[in-house]
Structure 1
Amino acid sequence: MSQQDLAVVILAAGKGTRMKSNLHKVLHPLGGRPMLHHLLDTLEQLHPSRKVIVVGAGKEQVQQSVGDQAETITQEPQLGTGHAVQVTGDQLRGFEGDVLILYGDVPLLSAETLENLIRVRRGANDPAVVVLGFEPKDTKAYGRLVVNDQGILEAIVEHKDATSAQREIGLCNSGIMAVNGAVMFDLLDQLDDNNAAGEFYLTDIVGIAKSKGYECAVSVADEAEVIGINSRSELAEAEAAFQQACRHSFMAAGVTLLAPETVHFSYDTVIGRDVVIEPNVFFGPGVVIEDDVTVKGFSHFEGAIVRTGATVGPYARLRPKADVGRNAKIGNFVEVKKSVIGEGAKVSHLSYIGDAVIGAHANIGAGTITCNYDGYNKALTEIGKGAFIGSNTALVAPVKIGDGAIVGAGSVVTREVESDALAVTRANQKEIGGWAAKFRSKQTKK
């Protein structure tokens, strides 16, 4: 049986009331990406032939976010997890491959864990249901997985129903399952709502399968992968786990983090080898840092690329479409947006560079700004190779500074400067002798 004989059901019909948000729970970001999309990205590695998301409240948000990545169907009314899978009948009844049943608020599952879950389902004993278990440090109120000496799953026992001996079991239920699609609806059709909540529980299919003579089994995952997110606090816990995994991965790949716990990554951050990252650095989505880069403390990146050998920071901000060239320098309190900084160029202090192209080895003095916005449109500033822009200069776009040109400090440049020319626009200095002393004397006599 190939991976294409795989369907996935993602349960995302919960109202998420504990999040206290207008945004659907599964769309809250984790590492800069909605948690549901983390799960969808992981599933791409498994190549399922069908993906069905069961939605309820806020379904329009989920449908808009997912687009054509998966089919969405509505569970209405919402009568429990078993009922949520039952409503996929039109899509999956008759499907004879394997069905993964996942949760949109459990986003940190790895492809390896899901592949192992499928492998157990396809094992020699042909279990009808395989439950993903985990062994938490604190078993809390989790349901327990009762397994016999042969490793066969005998039952799922809810904490409130467990005996004192069963509560000593360390293997807990994540709720995630792999089910033989050929028998799944035979099991689901036997569910009843004879319980205090009046709901159809998905976990009951284990007992139903056992009563029909099918085997059930367990696959085990790391606790960090099955974190469920139902509140802002749990979202923060999942973010912490995600960040910790990123940090270990980058350091293992040759990145130096001087204070790992203070560096924040996004889901798609790319960092090369021999990069040094100082404390308190934030990487938003879409950032690429090439080899041998130094990132100094308190810098912030979004949608930017920093090329080999460059230095950025401290206290620098690189906004979307900032492209910092090889061996270039972006210094303290410099903001760069939608600009190309040429190889070896320097923007060392207190500058704003937006909608600009800066040539190789140009030098941009402290306090320089590109005046790129007129209130309606953005315009381009071009600075040539080897040009020198004096401190406290305003370059009013659209404007071009030629190769090797020098712009004197304090200038407001509104017209093109030719290559190798000097442009100075400051007013002539005027001096009135003794004026300051007379002014002070007058003020003290009031």
Structure 2
Amino acid sequence: MSQRITPVILAAGYGKRMKSTLPKVLHPLAGLPIIHHILRAVRVVTTEPPVVVIGHGADQVRQAIGDGVRFAYQAEQLGTAHALKMAEPLLVGQTDLILVVTGDMPLLTPTTFRRLIALQATNSGPLSLVTLINENSYGFGRILRGPNGQVQGIVEEAQATPEQLAIRELNASVYCFRADWIWDALRRVPLSPKGEYYLTDVVGIAAQDGLNVQALVLEDPQEALGINTRAHLAEAEAIMRQRIISAWMDQGVTFVDPSSTYIEVDVKIGMDTVIYPFTSLRGKTQIGENCRIGPFTLLQDVTVGENCHLVGCALQNQQISPGTSIFPSQGTLFVGSADSRQSLSAISATEDLSPHYE
């Protein structure tokens, strides 16, 4: 019988450093709320509906996520171990493996999750975790290993000694637990001096019991970027944009200047299309083959047929017929094929066409 694998996303935190009334996990990234990127990635590799642990802004998060997930509520933010415990009533006896990730890590890929699950499937012990090697600690906990190289525990940066601070293997806060072990282990997690229960402590509990803990070292440390500030959000946006553009170039799309092109994750582009500088493609925009888009063009939820040429325009919720050219002339967009042209009301480039999440 195949194993039942359930993802749990910890998304109850306040996110004070974002300086926003919007819950951190709902800030938009490449056209989607942060948490939607994580949900998409975990759904590819798990068998059961995700569980999302919510707290701060719970109603907003519920509304933004919608159907297809189960919610557990953490009334008091008492740490990550406490957050995972909130999922116990939904999952006890209902799954074999539990994949745990925090809701502010949108750059993790299905490939990484798949490798972690495969590692735990062959692990004699109760858990496997993701680590990274990096000179910049990002405030992450340090991985403690014994003389034989086995993972012995995790020490949080605030509690680390100078020797431990020199360790460059860091905890990425991504775990795969054996479900028949984790719930009792969570009850053994001590209260920290800050009044919280840390999920990292279950690693030391397993090691103390002589149980094997496996570690998957990330090939790309950028995947472990957690978003806690607006600067982190901008950094993640740049990485995501590079991924998206690289993927479309592999599919036969030309970007004249990728650094000046903004493209969201649900955009579709046909082969042999050229995207010129200062072009922004948003929402569910679809562009056919052999088009020329830009420069200075913004498309939001626009469907563009093949062999079109769009320059210097801002369009929203439009359907552009194949063979159409659109270019600015004295404040009006002229639309036409080789046989005819007709005037189309221009959409002001200053109009807010960005996606809104309520």
What's the TM-score, normalizing by structure 1? 0.73
Give the alignment partner of residue 219 of structure 1, picking from 213, 216, 219: 216
**Offset at 1:173?**
0.5
Q: Aligned letter for 2:97?
A: D
1:50 matched residue in structure 2: 49
Q: Deviations over 1:60-112 (max 9, x none)?
A: 01111222221112112221111001111211222451101111111121111
Match of 2:180 in 1: 182
Aligned to 1:200: 197
User: Max radius of gyration: which structure?
Assistant: 1
Deviation of the 1:270 alpha carbon: 1.0
Name the CA distance, whole Å, in 1 between partners of 2:329 and 2:204.
63
CA distance change for structure 1 residues 28 and 370 in 2, over 3 Å: closer, same or farther? closer
- The equivalent of 1:38 in structure 2 is 37
Q: Which residue number corresponds to residue 352 of structure 2?
A: none
Distance 1:54 1:263, change over 3 A: same
* Cα distance in 1 for residues equivalent to 2:329 and 2:221: 41
CA contact (8 A) 2:6 2:46 kept: no
Tell me if 1:332 matches 2:331.
no
Equivalences for residues 77-226 of structure 1 within 5 A: 77-123=76-122, 125-148=123-146, 151-193=149-191, 195-221=192-218, 222-226=220-224
Query: How much does 1:139 deviate?
Result: 2.4
What letter is aligned with 2:333? S
Q: CA deviation at 1:31?
A: 0.5
- The equivalent of 1:389 in structure 2 is none
Cα deviation, residue 30, structure 1: 0.5
By how many angstroms is 1:11 displaced? Answer: 0.6
**CA distance 1:255–1:235, shift in 2 (3 Å):** same
Letter in 1 for 2:79: G
Paired residue for 1:398?
none
Tell me the distance in 2 between the aligned counterparts of 1:8 and 1:44: 8
Amino acid at match of 1:254: G
Decide which of 321, 334, 341 is 1:364's aligned counterpart: 341
**Does structure 1 retain, via aligned residues, the 8 Å contact 2:98–2:177?**
yes
Give the C-alpha shift of residue 352 in structure 1. 7.3
User: Does 2:271 correspond to 1:273?
Assistant: yes
Q: CA deviation at 1:369?
A: 4.9
Question: Counterpart of 1:69 in 2: which secondary structure?
Answer: coil
SS at match of 1:45: helix
Q: What is the identity, as a one-letter code, of the residue corresponding to 2:67? A: D
CA distance in 2, matches of 1:73, 1:333: 55
- Letter of the structure 1 residue corresponding to residue 217 of structure 2: V
Give the share of equivalent positions with the same residue, in percent.
Answer: 32
Distance 1:249 1:113, change over 3 A: same
Structure 1 equivalent of residue 315 of structure 2: 318
Residue by residue, what CA displacement relative to the aligned partner does 1:282-310 show, whole Å, maximum 9, x if unpaired? 00111111221111200000111222221
Any conservation in 2 of the 1:228–1:234 contact (CA below 8 Å)?
yes
Pick closer, same or farther for the CA change 1:370–1:33 going to 2, 3 Å. Answer: closer
Gaps spanning 5+ residues in structure 2: where?
A: 347-358
Tell me, yes or no, if the aligned pair for 2:277 and 2:296 is still in contact at 8 Å.
yes
What amino acid is the match of 1:323?
Q
Cα shift at 1:370: 5.8
Aligned AA (1:161): Q
Q: Give yes or no for contact 1:151–1:217 (8 Å, CA) kept in 2.
A: no
User: What amino acid is the match of 2:340?
Assistant: N
Higher relative contact order (CA 8 A, sep 6+): 2
Counterpart residue type for residue 350 of structure 1: T
Q: Which amino acid aligns with 2:98?
A: V
Q: Normalization by structure 2: what TM-score?
A: 0.90
What is the alpha-carbon distance in structure 1 between the residues aligned to residue 145 and residue 163 of structure 2? 13
Q: CA deviation at 1:274?
A: 1.5
After TM superposition, give the deviation of residue 252 of structure 1 in Å. Answer: 2.3
**CA distance, structure 2, for counterparts of residue 174 and residue 370 of structure 1:** 50
What SS is found at the alignment partner of 2:190?
Answer: coil
Q: What one-letter code is carried by the residue in structure 2 that aligns with 1:203? A: T
Report the RMSD for the aligned CA atoms in angstroms.
2.2
Question: Could you tell me how far apart the structure 2 residues matched to 1:285 and 1:262 are?
Answer: 18
Any idea what the Cα deviations from partners look like across 1:18-44, whole Å, max 9, x if unmatched? Answer: 222222111111011111111111122
Q: Secondary structure at the match of 1:121?
A: helix
Q: Which amino acid aligns with 1:169?
A: I
Corresponding letter in the other structure for 1:351: L
What is the number of equivalent residue pairs in this alignment? 345
Q: Distance in 2 between matches of 1:140 and 1:67?
A: 32
Q: Which amino acid aligns with 1:329?
A: S
**What is the aligned partner in structure 1 of residue 356 from structure 2?**
none
